[in-house]
Each structure stands twice: as C-alpha cells, then as structure tokens.
Amino acid sequence: MAADPKSPSLAELRQQLDQTDDDIVRLLARRLQSIRLIAKAKAEQGSMIRDPERERDVLTRVEGLATSLGVSGPLARKIFSDLIDYSVSRQVGSLVDADRGDVTVAYQGQPLTYNQLAAEQYVAGRGLRGRFVGLSTLTQVIEQLSSGQVDLAFVPIENTVAGSVNQIYDVLRERDLHIVGEDSFKVELCLAAVADVPLPALRRIYSHPLALDQCSAFIDGLPQVQATPFADSRDAVRTVAEAKDPTLAAIGSPEAVRAHGLTILRGAVGNQDEILMRYVALARAPVPIDERVSCKTSLIFSTRHEKGALLRCLQVLADHGLSMTKLESRPRPNRPWEYMFFIDFEGNVVEPRVATALETLRAEALYLKVLGCYPAKATPQIAQAGEIKPAAEPAVAPAAAPPAKPAARASKHYKLADRATRSADTIVRVGDLLIGGEGFVVIAGPCSVESAEMITKTAQHVRGAGAHILRGGVFKPRTGPYAFQGLGLEGLDMLVAAGKAAGMPIVTEVMSPEQVRPVADKADMLQIGARNMQNFALLNAVGKVDRPVLLKRGMSSTVEEWLAAAEYILAQGNGQVVLCERGIRTFESATRNTLDLSAVVVLRERTHLPIIVDPSHGTGRRPYVAPMAWASRACGAHGIIVEVHPDPDKALSDGDQSLDYAGFVGLMQGLGRVRA
C-alpha cells in the first residue's frame, strides 16, 4: 500500500493562507477597476448610480453560492453588502469629487478615536486622499473650517443609542456652513485592561461620557465599579495603559486598545448589538450634486404661531412625494417655549419637485434655511417582503377571485382591528422583513430551544431552505407540570445567537407580563400562545412595547373573540399585530386540532391585520403539515409558522408534528408550486 503523502506543516499552511489572502486583495482591486468602468459607463448613459434591484440580486446570488460551497451565507451577504456600499460611494465620488484629490479634514479628538476612524472611512470611500487634523474642542474644529485652514469638518450628528448631538444642530443654525456629505460608522465598544483580569477585580472604568452611556447596562452589572468620564476615549485607554493598574479598565475602539497593548476583556459591551454613529461633512460652500445621485436635503425652519402650522409645512413634503427621514426640534434662542425644526428628506435640490417644494415651504414657514444637499449614505435598511422561489415546472394559476369587500357592519368589540376603520392592509416589519401585502413569509424552527448546538444547526438549515424568520420556544406552556418547560432566558440567548449567525430575525413566546420586557429587549417578535389569547394582563403588556406581536387563536375561540383580543394590544398603542390561525378544538379526533382555513378568508374581509397559519399545531400530525401549509398559501394567508427539528422522534416537545430537515425542504419546494 502506498504511503499517504506527508501532511503540510503549520508553516506551509500559513503560507497557503497568506497566498489566499493576497489573492483576495488582488481580486478586490480588480473589482474596484470594474467599478470605475461602470461609473464611467453610467455617466455616459445618464444612468442612476444606485440600482437596488441589482444589489438585491447580487446579494441573493452570492449568498446562495456561499451556502452551496459550505460557507456561511449571512457572512457572504455581510461582506458583499459592505463591498456594494463602498462601490456606490466610489461611484458617487467620481461624480461629486471629480475635481478634488487632496482634502484636509478636521475632527474633534485624537488619532484612533471613533471620530478619526470615521473621517478616514468617509474620505477613503469617496476616493479622496486626506490629511486629518485632530482638535480638542468642537469650537476649534468649526473655527478652523470657517477660517479656511481646513477643507472639511467631520462631526458626529446622531447616534442610534444616545440620539442627536444637539451641539451640532446649534452650529448649523448659527453658522454659514453647509452639509456636503454624510456617513455612518459602526461603533465597536470593547472593555480592556493591562492584563486578563476577572471582571469582579475591576474598580474603575474610564471612557468618554457618550461611550459610558452606551454601555450603561454592562457597567450596571458590575456594582463594584465606578464609571469615570474622560474627555476622549483615547485618553482613557492611554491612562489605563500607563497606570499599569489591573483594577482599571477603559472602554474604547479595538484599534486604540491594540495600539496601547491592552488586553480586551469583553467585546461588544454596548447596550445594543449594533451601535451606529451618523457623521456629516461640513464645508464653507455647498457642492452641486448630479441628479443621478441619490441625495438627502437637510433644512431648518420655524413655523408661524398658528394652529396647524407645523402640519401644513410637513404636508408640503408629502404633497411633492418627498420622504422625510428625520424630524428634530430645538429651542429657539431667547424665545422660551418656542422651537425650530430640523428636517432631513430624500431628494436633490436640482430636481424640479424638490425645488418647487422648497419654494412652497418658504412661503408657508416663518423662517427657512437649507443646510445642505448631499449624497445619501446613512439611510434606513429597506425591508423586503417574504419571497418563495417558484418551482421549476410551470404552475397553473387559478382564475382570479373577486377582491374581498370590507365588512358591511363595524364590530362593537373591536374598532382598531376592524377593516371598516382602516381599509388598507397593515404591513408589519420584523427585522428587515415585511409580513402582509403581497409577500409570503415562512417562520420555522423547533418547538423548543433544547441546546445551543441544536438551535444553531436548525437555524442554518431552515435559512438555507428558504425560511425567513427563526422560531423557538424558551418559555413553554405545557399541559403537564412534569413536561419540559423550556430553558428560559438562557435559551433566549441561544436563540438570539443562532438567529444572528443565520441572518434571521427571531420570534419566541412570552407567558407573563414579567417576561415581556426582558424578551422584547432581545427578540424581534413576541408570540402570544393559544392558551394566553385572553390573558388580558399579558395582552396589555405586549401592547406597551415596540415589538411586533404574533397572536395565536385560542383553542376554542371565535373569530370575534380573537379580534377582540387583538384589540387589547392595539388599544395600548402597539399596531404591529400579526394573527395566527393554529387550529381549534372540535369533536374530530383524526387530528390534534381542526385547522380552520376558512378563518383566513373571513379575516381578510374583516380586518386589515396580516394573517399567518400554523399547520403544525393545526394538525398535530407530521404527514399533514406540508399539504396544509400549501393550502394556507392558496387560500390567501400571508405566511406560515412550522416546527422543524433535527430528530423529531427525540424532540423534547411536539415531536409528532415537527418536520425533519428533509421534510422541511419538501414543504418549501411544494410552496413554490402554489400561487395565492
């Protein structure tokens, strides 16, 4: 027998890895060259810079290719999302900054602070070469810009946790400066010390006040620690490094921590998983923007002291089809209890509709100042409707049914949920996914989260098969007290991690008002189970949080009672309700419950709320789940929720109605042959 070839050494493997990394960089350079040619072609043809449909196609294609090659699909999507954003910025720069090569940029702070890192990102993204000047105060930054010593001032204007930086709005109001660009920067907050010390050994944590505020939940979990503000996060990191005291720690950027040789004790210590800072570039003069570039316009105005004055001003934007992305109020100087309003909206001042809107707004407002028109970069993620890949073979579409008419009689039990109150369908956003309208959403996952490995594996599988939202129970209402009751908040953390790894929003059930806030802080959607449909204290509790709610039908409830339960949530101010038909209890024993698909048709007539179907609980029998899922789409439901388990026969709950991985793939393939 021939001997196996010698396995490569660690040094040889690292050499191969280095070569692969070099190849990746060369491919990036090649891609950038293609981007330059595309920008030139778009300029010659007069095409718009951004093509959202093309971007979606690219992301879908690379995610599918990555999955087929055993690479994380969400990882590929994230990498290429960043590449697309960078490519768009370079194309915008070719139109906006064609005459500029070198720029001098002032920012507040020191090197390796977030302000400096964000400024570098902005300049590089526009294809410019920058010289960066760090200054101690915002006043110094603005003075250097006003006096012509620098070309741009790059300053933070809002944060996704702490909100607006009011000082910047005051500068824009008082100075003759113009916003010429914007960017968003991901703030990575890590805790670092001189050595790998246990957290209970720490006594002080240093950082900028804003960073401390953004990490308040983590710091509050260390009662022995005193948070000490510093003028600059870089100063905080340097102070800890120079003190060499293991009881001291600093919160700062990973770049600053590594530069000072500190040890990272914890990464991502912010109150939210993703903290973004929006920055604006200020200049002494406005920069004309090509009409093909997607833009924002920012302005400040004050209204007349008349009834409905603000409404009339905002109506001007609506009448001209302009989407407002921000509205901020600030006190008027020396005018107690009077306010000025800052507005950002999507639109370019060279567009006729924008020019007309501004002219009308000047006549309506008491005072108006355009702060700038600039390429839009920091924009909300556009949510997408759930899509089901069509089957390879042609589908036969049934004859179109006449549209359902609103109920002739308004109900006295529910008003806000009534179609007679709101004729348009409500579309609920869960993460970056829309439920309702023309889309069809698939929610899939195990009945219960049993372990981190199990939920992670299942999440990856259902995501690869086409599911949109990950489900998993961590608090389980069981008939018997000795049955598996769920892993609680520990299971929730597992579910969150699995959803994040698979790139899916998550939904899980809450059983009591006390669970609502802790679960809402981490989950994208809250579920109210059938047994709690008329738990009015729980309904009121979920009605007070800003989270979508999946409301299941009670086992013996009528449609009227179900909608009345939804009304409890709506009446508390939460209009993000999705109804779920999960079968009702009848005398029939062939199935666990009787799946009432006629309720879907009735609800489409009586309410504007989205409706999905649970064929798993609705039948309780594994062979029946897929056919009833297909029927759910055919009868007009907006989606389904199904239970999927790696080994249903060993599931700790609801194994009889759970699909294995192959069964779920078959269900998804069948959905592609069904048309609503």
* Residue range 97-120: mean pLDDT, rounded: 86
Provide the pLDDT for residue 1: 46
When pLDDT is cut at 50, 70 and 90, the band that residue 156 belongs to is very high
pLDDT at 3: 46
Architecture of the 290-382 domain: 2-Layer Sandwich (3.30)
Question: Any idea where the domains of the chain sit in the sequence?
Answer: 190-266, 290-382, 428-671
Token pair 């968003």 is found at 184
Whether the pLDDT of residue 610 is over 90: the answer is yes
* pLDDT above 90 (res 560): yes
The yes or no reply on domain 428-671 and CATH 3.20.20.70 is yes
- What pLDDT was estimated at residue 419? 92
User: Which residues, in sequence order, are CB contacts of 341 under 8 Å at separation 6+?
Assistant: 300, 301, 302, 303, 310, 313, 327, 328, 329, 330
Residue 600, pLDDT > 90, answer: yes
Are 190-266 and 428-671 the same fold in CATH? no
Mean pLDDT in residue range 570-578: 95
Which range, of 134-138, 173-177, 377-381, averages the lowest pLDDT?
A: 377-381
pLDDT of residue 154: 97
pLDDT for the residue 479: 67
pLDDT in tens, 222-277: 999 999 999 888 899 999 999 999 999 999 999 999 999 999 999 989 988 788 99
Residue 294 half-sphere exposure, CB side, CA atoms within 13 Å?
Answer: 15
Q: How far is the C-alpha of 368 from the C-alpha of 588, rounded, in Å?
A: 69
Q: What is the mean pLDDT of residues 330-335?
A: 87
Q: pLDDT digit string (tens) for 581-593?
A: 999 999 999 999 9
Question: CATH second-level architecture of 190-266?
Answer: 3-Layer(aba) Sandwich (3.40)
Q: Which amino acid is at 351?
A: E
Q: What is the pLDDT of residue 645?
A: 96
Q: How confident is the model at residue 100 (pLDDT cuts 50, 70, 90)?
A: low
Residue 536's contacts (CB-CB under 8 Å, 6 or more residues apart) are: 568
Give 184-221 pLDDT, tens digit per residue.
Answer: 999 999 999 999 999 999 999 999 998 999 899 999 99
Examine the pLDDT at 451 and tell me if it is beyond 60.
yes
pLDDT greater than 80 at residue 358? yes
Give mean pLDDT, residues 429-457.
Answer: 94
- How far apart CA 233 and CA 274 sit, in angstroms, is 19
Q: Given a cut of 90, is residue 289 above it in pLDDT?
A: no
Whether the per-residue pLDDT at 455 is higher than 60: the answer is yes
| Res. 344 pLDDT band, cuts 50 70 90 | very high
Structure tokens at 139: 């006043």
Whether the pLDDT of residue 146 is over 60: the answer is yes
